[in-house]
Structure 1
Amino acid sequence: MFERDLRTWSFLVGAAATGLSSCRYERHKMTNPHTAHHIDGPGDLGQITQVLIVGVNASDAGTCAVQTAVHLARQLNAHLRAVHVRDADDTPVDPDNSEWEADTEDAVARIRARTLGSLQQAGWDHWSYREYYGAAARRIREDADTLDAAFIVIGVPRRDLLARIGEALGDTVAAQLIHQADRPVLSVPATS
């Protein structure tokens, strides 16, 4: 059943059109037919009964979250779904720059390559990688709901002043998931 649900979800996500409210992202989506990347690891899903979701981004906390999630997936014999949601953090500051789209694609490609490298080097073959447009917490939650994930793993930045303010305002992806997800959320701090 899990394998069928995973294939169905892959089809639905490939066919769905969701995006950010930002006009720049909307224009990019209209000119770029590839609104998401879908990459599956080499593992056979035959004996897998659980799914873990890990949210990834360009931060050190995102890398720590992937490492922790791989360890947990191995311990639980679970499929690991890595999810990256393209957002403003992936884009250069000046959207009027002529290299804006190329710089954005380069930044996202670096995140993808780093995540895939971590997954491939971990020695756990039961993984998949999905990349979406949209609000990060919502897309991660939707993926977790669709796959009935056992829990979500998310990296949290080091505790500097801006991180504390963002968390207090409920503005971080981790804070939103902790407050809104209907399943356990494991927050992994960035290591020094």
Structure 2
Amino acid sequence: MSDVAPMPASTHVVMGWNGQLASTAALRVAVDLAQRLDAHVHVVHIGDVDDLPVDPDASDWAQQFRETVEAQAMDARALLEQLGPRWTYHAVHGRPSDVLADLAEQFDALMIVVGAPRGGVHSFIETFAGQSVSHQLTTKHGRPVLLVPEPSSA
């Protein structure tokens, strides 16, 4: 065991998190990068419709919403523990590409890591309409973006 205090992170990586398979793969890549680069990872969960309970009239709707968000935070934190103190979890609201880009700018992040689009009709429409987070990040913001695909089931 060394008596030398750990050095502060040499760089920062911003990572968009939504708990989906591609996002989990992206978080694993961000953690691996952080270990290799001695970086601090900023995991950003931006609340969206996937976090909302199915029944808007449920008497415990707010509780269900909180539980969903807290469960996703716990999943991310479990993957981040191996980084020791070199990570931060941000739960925020806003336009995902702008929130990620602003945080990356604030910390002069080396890159932004996100899960690749899910594919399918919904993803195609988002990309075609210019609403895809990865598309917005790569066309409107000047920071490198690493797209991590969902793991194959083969």
Query: TM-score range, shorter-chain basis?
Result: 0.7 to 0.9
Task: Write the deviation string for residues 59-97 of structure 1: whole angstroms up to 9, x where unpaired.
Answer: 111101100111111111111111111122211244333
Count of paired positions: 147
Task: Write the deviation string for residues 108-130 of structure 1: whole angstroms up to 9, x where unpaired.
Answer: 0111010001111xx22221111
Partner secondary structure for residue 148 of structure 1: coil
How far residue 188 of structure 1 moved from its aligned partner, in angstroms, is 0.7
Cα separation, 2, equivalents of 1:65 and 1:167: 19
* Equivalent residue for 1:74, pick from 32, 35, 40: 35
Please name the residue that 1:31 is paired with: none
Partner secondary structure for residue 74 of structure 1: helix
Please name the residue that 2:112 is paired with: 152
Alignment check: 8 A CA contact 2:117 2:134 kept: no
* Equivalent residue for 1:124, pick from 83, 89, 96: 83
Please name the residue that 1:191 is paired with: 151
State, as a whole percentage, how many aligned pairs show the same letter: 33
Q: How does 1:1-192 map to 2 (within 5 A)?
A: 46-120=7-81, 123-125=82-84, 126-192=86-152
Give the RMSD, CA atoms, in angstroms: 1.7
How far residue 58 of structure 1 moved from its aligned partner, in angstroms, is 2.0
- Moved beyond 3 Å, runs of 4+: 44-47
Alignment check: 8 A CA contact 1:83 1:131 kept: yes
User: What is the TM-score with the length of structure 2 in the denominator?
Assistant: 0.87
- Over 3 Å counting, the alpha-carbon distance change for 1:173 and 1:111 in structure 2 is same
Alignment check: 8 A CA contact 2:26 2:113 kept: yes
Partner secondary structure for residue 119 of structure 1: helix
Q: Show structure 1 runs of 5+ residues with no match.
A: 1-43
